[in-house]
């Protein structure tokens, strides 16, 4: 079967599109280094690159009436390709993160703080979903084509980033008639990054003026330890198969197995197909965890002689995947398709930023004493952008990552997935029967939020209860 001439645009479309995305990030990086207010804004380079492409595409559409990324030079269907890149970036990034070597052992106190971080993450999703649903339930009576359940996308766009916002926007658009759902989700995610960058900088400057923190003035460059690249008992860097190729092969093999599982479950229960494929990152995490445990067992029994997985290279793969996910997701937004929702989106964005800020501030003040500011910036950045955004904000107040906040972010993923899974099921239930199911979903979110916060503040709640009971006992004895 012939693919045509190698000079045909359909052969080069994907390469040119990906090259354009990467070039926009290079340009964004140059602008950040050169322009003072951009450097101080802490806006991620991938976000700025996406905004540059979004501006170019919007101006082109305004002048010509055509979609910029659907030009023949990008293969004729570039917008669809951008959405595909966003979708796969999420799954590949999470698999690479999961495949990294196992977490270090902590004492009881640190394990408790990691659990609390995971609970805070899921509680953050829930409070975003609660306020998001409240807003879109109200606006659904005023705005045409806006479904009441659209507000759940706030917790995916802010709490989990571009990939999941696209996933649920697509599910709502394809299965429940939410016109412009994909673009709605992508826009919410973009607003989240802006909330992290702008809101984070404003609060950083406030705390610095108050003398409560010291902000790093210059970007810290950390030298790479060769043991990170070539650890003990690891396969060689330049063996019969390049070490980076091995890491990429492992990640894509896991992703291929994940596809097989999703395809099988989707074929067995066709009604759940869109939901199964919306959980691509979660299925990938489970398969990666299984493979990691198998490799560990084989190494322990001396069947496998060398360590095949390298944490440093897996970090690079996940970083690249998330950068591509973000820049492609923002570039894929079509402004004209969400024009009717602009004030709903604006209110969602502002309320999402404020309520996330207030909630995380309260939690960090009471539960993470000794490093509450570091934990706050890490959590606020993560719950309005991605883990990378959280690390960017954290670096401003903890350049060497000496506080426990960085470890909390890395190791909270397991409890966050366990406690956050019901939230994904609620999100797929919310739009099924219009307003009725949305109100039920809102009630479930409120109840779950209360339950998780009782667990989160368990020490404070039960400590006070025990203190009251002790005082009552003393009074009885004295009488």
pLDDT (tens digit per residue) in 227-260:
667 777 787 877 788 899 999 999 999 999 999 9
Distances (CA, A) of 365 to 213, 373, 377: 15, 8, 12
Q: What is the model's pLDDT at position 294?
A: 93
pLDDT (tens digit per residue) in 179-193:
999 999 999 999 998
- The secondary structure of 252-274 as a DSSP string is HHHHHHHHHHHHHHHHHSGGGHH
Q: What is the model's pLDDT at position 98?
A: 86
Q: What is the model's pLDDT at position 239?
A: 74
Percent of all residues in the chain with a pLDDT value above 90, rounded to a whole number: 53
Find all residues with CB under 8 Å of 216, minimum gap 6, and list them: 395, 396, 397, 399
Q: Check if the beta carbon of residue 258 is closer than 8 Å to that of residue 287.
A: yes
CA–CA separation, 126 and 66 (whole Å): 39
SS3 210: coil
Q: Helix, strand, coil % (nearest 5) of the chain?
A: 75, 0, 20
Burial category of 274 from C-beta neighbours within 10 Å (exposed 0-12, middle 13-18, buried 19 and up): middle
Q: What is the model's pLDDT at position 4?
A: 65
Please give the structure tokens belonging to residue 274. Answer: 């869109």
Continuous H helices in 243-341: 243-268, 273-278, 280-300, 311-331
Choose between 441 and 106: higher pLDDT: 441
Q: What is the model's pLDDT at position 279?
A: 79
Choose between 127 and 242: higher pLDDT: 127
Distances (CA, A) of 296 to 234, 301, 334, 414: 13, 9, 46, 18
Least confident span in 93-97, 172-176, 220-224, 236-240: 220-224
Q: In terms of Cα–Cα distance, which of 71, 357, 7 is closest to 79? A: 71
CA–CA separation, 366 and 363 (whole Å): 5
Choose between 111 and 471: higher pLDDT: 111
SS3 297: helix
């Amino acid at each position: 079967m012939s693919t045509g001439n190698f000079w045909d645009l359909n052969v080069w479309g994907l390469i040119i599109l990906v090259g354009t995305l990467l070039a926009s990030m290079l340009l964004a990086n140059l602008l950040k280094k050169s322009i003072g207010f951009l450097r101080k804004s802490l806006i991620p380079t991938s976000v700025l690159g996406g905004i540059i492409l979004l501006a170019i595409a919007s101006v082109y559409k305004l002048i010509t009436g055509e979609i910029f990324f659907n030009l023949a030079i990008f293969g004729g269907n570039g917008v669809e390709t951008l959405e595909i890149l966003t979708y796969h970036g999420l799954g590949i990034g999470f698999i690479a993160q999961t495949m990294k070597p196992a977490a270090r052992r902590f004492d009881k106190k640190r394990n408790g703080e990691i659990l609390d971080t995971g609970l805070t993450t899921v509680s953050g999703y829930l409070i975003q979903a609660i306020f998001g649903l409240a807003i879109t339930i109200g606006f659904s009576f005023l705005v045409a084509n806006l479904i009441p359940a659209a507000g759940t996308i706030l917790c995916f766009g802010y709490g989990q980033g571009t990939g999941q916002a696209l996933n649920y926007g697509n599910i709502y658009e394809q299965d429940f008639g939410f016109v412009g759902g994909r673009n709605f989700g992508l826009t919410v995610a973009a607003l989240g990054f802006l909330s992290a960058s702008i809101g984070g900088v404003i609060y950083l400057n406030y705390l610095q003026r108050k003398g409560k923190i010291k902000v790093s003035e210059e970007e810290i460059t950390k030298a790479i330890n060769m043991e990170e690249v070539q650890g003990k008992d690891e396969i060689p860097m330049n063996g019969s198969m390049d070490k980076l190729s091995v890491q990429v092969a492992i990640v894509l093999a896991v992703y291929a197995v994940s596809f097989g599982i999703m395809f099988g479950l989707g074929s067995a229960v066709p009604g759940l197909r869109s939901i199964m494929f919306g959980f691509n990152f979660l299925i990938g995490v489970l398969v990666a965890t299984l493979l990691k445990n198998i490799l560990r067992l084989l190494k322990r029994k001396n069947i496998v002689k060398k360590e095949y997985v390298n944490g440093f290279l897996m970090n690079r793969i996940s970083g690249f995947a998330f950068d591509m996910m973000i820049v492609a997701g923002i570039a894929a937004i079509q402004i004209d398709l969400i024009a009717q929702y602009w004030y709903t989106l604006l209110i969602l964005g502002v309320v999402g930023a404020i309520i996330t800020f207030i909630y995380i501030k309260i939690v960090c003040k009471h539960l993470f004493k000794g490093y509450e500011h570091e934990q706050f910036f890490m959590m606020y950045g993560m719950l309005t952008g991605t883990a990378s955004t959280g690390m960017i904000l954290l670096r401003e107040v903890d350049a060497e990552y000496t506080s426990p906040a960085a470890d909390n972010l890395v190791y909270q993923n397991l409890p966050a997935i366990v406690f956050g899974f019901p939230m994904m099921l609620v999100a797929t239930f919310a739009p099924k029967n219009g307003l009725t199911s949305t109100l039920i979903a809102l009630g479930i979110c409120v109840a779950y939020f209360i339950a998780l916060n009782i667990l989160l503040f368990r020490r404070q709640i039960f400590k006070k209860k025990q203190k009251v009971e002790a005082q009552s006992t003393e009074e009885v004895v004295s009488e």
